[in-house]
């Protein structure tokens, strides 16, 4: 137990020392307007580089990501067909798909799938 505490302290001390040395020796960067502005062939950009982002695209991307992960969760059901009974497998799959459909209905009912503003 004593060796575990000693090794944890030694590792913590070593990592703190390395972080402090790297902070001291790192190259200092001075932020100014020219370095923070986007580079466009040496000229000032004509438009703002930070355009407003459409929230609708973000919502569609999040919904796609959620349903994509859920499809990836369905794949192991194919692998366990040989090892489980048909009745228990069909109950699990139907329960999982019903949760997905309830989530889809909720998103549809809340208007997250409506594209028109």
Taking CA atoms, 66 is separated from 35, 100, 106, 109, in Å, by 38, 10, 14, 17
* Three-state secondary-structure class, residue 17: helix
Cβ pair 107, 113 in contact under 8 A: yes
Q: With a threshold of 0.85, does the pTM exceed it? A: no
Torsion of CA 95, 80, 74, 98, to 10 degrees: -10
Maximum Cα–Cα distance for the chain, whole Å?
69
Name 43's bridge partners: 40
Per-residue pLDDT for the chain (117 aa), expressed as one digit of tens each?
889 899 999 999 999 999 999 888 876 666 666 666 666 566 655 666 666 777 778 877 888 888 788 888 888 888 888 888 888 888 988 998 898 889 888 888 887 777 665
């Amino acid at each position: 137990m004593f060796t575990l505490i000693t090794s944890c302290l030694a590792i913590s001390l070593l990592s703190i020392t390395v972080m402090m040395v790297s902070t001291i020796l790192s190259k200092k960067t001075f932020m100014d307007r020219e370095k923070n502005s986007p580079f466009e062939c040496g000229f000032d950009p004509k438009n703002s580089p930070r355009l407003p982002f459409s929230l609708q695209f973000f919502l569609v991307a999040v919904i796609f990501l959620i349903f994509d992960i859920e499809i990836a969760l369905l794949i192991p059901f194919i692998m366990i067909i040989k090892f489980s009974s048909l009745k228990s497998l069909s109950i699990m799959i139907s329960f999982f798909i019903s949760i997905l459909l309830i989530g889809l209905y909720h998103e549809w009912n809340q208007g997250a799938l409506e594209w028109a503003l």
